[in-house]
Amino acid sequence: MSKPPQKRLYIKTYGCQMNVYDSERMADVLRPLGYALTDQPDDADLVVLNTCHIREKAADKVYSELGRIRRIKEIRAEAGRSTRIAVAGCVAQAEGEEIMRRAPVVDLVIGPQSYHRLPELIARTSRQLGERLAADFQPEDKFDRLPEERTVHGYSAFLTVQEGCDKFCTFCVVPYTRGAEFSRGPEAIEAEARRLADQGVREVTLLGQNVNAYMKEQDGGGLAALVRRLAKVPDLDRIRYTTSHPRDMDEALISAHAEVEALMPYLHLPVQAGSDRVLKAMNRGHTALHYLRLVEKIRAARPDIALSGDFIVGFPGESEADFEETLEVVREARYASAFSFKYSRRPGTPAAAMPGQVAEEVKAERLQRLQGLLEEQRQAFNRAMAGRTVPVLFERPGRYQGQIVGRSPYLQAVHAEAPERLLGQIVPVRISGAGSNSLAGSVELEAA
């Protein structure tokens, strides 16, 4: 059989880790068609923008990027080279029709549940045939039909186990862009994890918009059982998962944190806000106290856990007193890292139509105060590492000669002067100090 001619694929990824996973899988789907990845859009025969709709700014980026890509397409056309442009991801799902209208340069629009159909859709566009918009909502098809083969680089990989969301927080577009909660079967996940381990991957991060809702409705023990199952895969030494919802943080998962060595002591557990009134208006389904008790329970099981979270300031109706309750929750919960955002009004979500929208300056001022506090906590967490010895999975060469970089169990970046042969290995490192974004340490000699 003759090999198909080499074509170049450029994928730009926005948004969350699930999009990162999806982008890798799109590359896997297109590889048999002769597409090889490039990081230069002007080299690309096919450009895919894998988009995010979560906040207004994220969605706007797509249109400005399309303007840039259009100019590249024109320049390439002058040289007699064609360029196909696809918009994928959550903006595609939410605004597919509008993209087609606003950006005629786009050849095809494809939602997150339809990536297995990319080859077929590309074939159609090349023959100028009808369907250019695929926005199915059947994740079962997606996972069953994506190729088994994955090409991964490096020692840490994402693995999507759950998609979609049934929680309908009133600010959020995800239930509309990703559809209802769906869990992949544990056999398929384990098979994928084994193939990753065979390619040298030592750490997997299990992904889902509500990853701890995994298999909630079915028998099988939920995420805790999946973690225990994957902990047995040879050479897969570290397991992480993200993102969790406080409502789905069950006893079994908390016990897994106490008992499963491979499960890393890091937990991304967004609270969003600290005022019960605001939490109710957000439809979060938990109070501040419920959240704090949960954190206490998790710390009782795994005292050193690094807690991470997401916050929204300036949700409609949020008063100064409400906001101060958010600061109070942060002080009590103590975060090792966090993401915080100004509330962004998303068309079609209930909160967009709520009274009491908060002025931009007020949001900006609250965000600054919140981020100040979160940053203090992050630095305190990092400083407390000095003098400790922790296992580090070394992943890549550092910026300076002779330096390599990896991750601590708590997901901190750690630099050390050490030989590159330690890449892909988990090695004890004595932490000497904390910089602004990473730790420095030295490899314990007897281990190297």
Over the window 264 to 293, marking each residue x when it contacts ligand F3S by CB under 6 A and - when it does not, the resulting string is: ------------------------------
Q: How far apart are the first and last CA of the chain?
A: 47
Is 177 among the residues that bind ligand F3S (CB under 6 A)? Answer: yes
* Encoded amino acid at 150, one letter: R
54 versus 118: smaller Cβ distance to ligand F3S: 54
- What would the x/- binding string for ligand F3S be over residues 147 to 176, using CB under 6 A? --------------------------xx--
- The residue (of 18 and 405) whose beta carbon lies closer to ligand F3S is 18
**C-alpha dist (Å) from residue 323 to 280, 314, 363:** 14, 8, 10
**CB of 59 vs ligand SF4, minimal distance in Å:** 15
Q: CA–CA separation, 273 vs 271, rounded Å?
A: 6
For residue 330, give the 3-state DSSP assignment.
helix
Should residue 268 be labelled a site residue for ligand SF4 when binding is judged by CB under 6 A? no
- Which one of ligand SF4, ligand F3S, ligand SAH, none interacts with residue 175, CB within 5 to 8 A by kind? ligand SF4
Residue at token pair 């856990």: 305
Query: Using the rule CB under 6 A, which residue among 160, 177, 183, 209 binds ligand SF4?
Result: 209
- Residue 382 CB, nearest distance to ligand F3S (Å)? 26
d(CA 60, CA 53): 9
Binder among 11, 52, 157, 169 for ligand SF4 (CB under 6 A)? 169
Among 32, 67, 74, 168, binds ligand SF4 (CB under 6 A): 168
The DSSP code for 263 is B
Eight-class DSSP state of 353: G
Question: How far is 101 from 87, CA to CA, in rounded Å?
Answer: 13
Report the candidate in 310, 311, 323, 318 with the shortest Cα–Cα distance to residue 351.
318
Return the residue of 142, 167, 202, 378 that touches ligand SF4, per CB under 6 A. 167
Residue of 269, 365, 356 lying closest to 315 (CA atoms): 356
In the structure encoding, which two tokens stand for residue 163, read together?
Answer: 């998609």
Q: Which residue is nearest to ligand F3S (CB)?
A: 15
Q: Which is nearer to ligand F3S, 51 or 412 (CB)?
A: 51
Closer CB to ligand F3S, 115 or 410, in the complex: 115
Q: Strand pairing partners for 203?
A: 156, 238
Neighbouring C-beta atoms of residue 320, cutoff 10 Å: 9
Residue 22: Cβ within 10 Å count? 27
The pairing of beta strand 162-163 with beta strand 182-183: antiparallel
210 is a contact residue toward ligand SF4 (CB under 6 A): yes
168 binds, among ligand F3S, ligand SAH, ligand SF4, none (CB under 5 to 8 A by kind): ligand SF4
Tokens of 317: 């109706």
Number of chain positions touching ligand SF4 (CB under 6 A): 10
- Which residues contact ligand SAH by CB under 6 A? 54-55, 171-172, 174, 209-210, 243, 245, 270, 272, 310, 312, 341, 343-344, 346
Among 175, 350, 424, 428, binds ligand SF4 (CB under 6 A): 175
Q: How many Å apart are CA 261 and CA 159, to the nearest integer? A: 19
344 binds, among ligand SAH, ligand SF4, ligand F3S, none (CB under 5 to 8 A by kind): ligand SAH
Applying CB under 6 A, among 8, 10, 11, 15 the residue interacting with ligand F3S is: 15
Site string for ligand F3S, 35-54 (x = CB under 6 A): -----------------xxx
Amino acid 279 reads L
User: Contact with ligand F3S (CB under 6 A): which of 178, 238, 240, 286?
Assistant: 178
Does residue 431 contact residue 439 with C-beta atoms inside 8 Å? yes
Instruction: Specify whether the CB–CB gap between 377 and 362 falls below 8 A.
Output: no
Q: Which DSSP state fits 359?
A: P
Dihedral angle over CA of 247, 192, 164, 254, nearest 10 = 0
Per partner kind, with CB cut-offs from 5 to 8 A, the member of ligand SAH, ligand F3S, ligand SF4, none near residue 55 is: ligand SAH
Which residues are at the interface with ligand F3S (CB under 6 A)? 15-16, 18-19, 52-54, 89-90, 173-174, 177-178, 209
Which residues are at the interface with ligand SF4 (CB under 6 A)? 165, 167-169, 172, 174-175, 209-210, 245
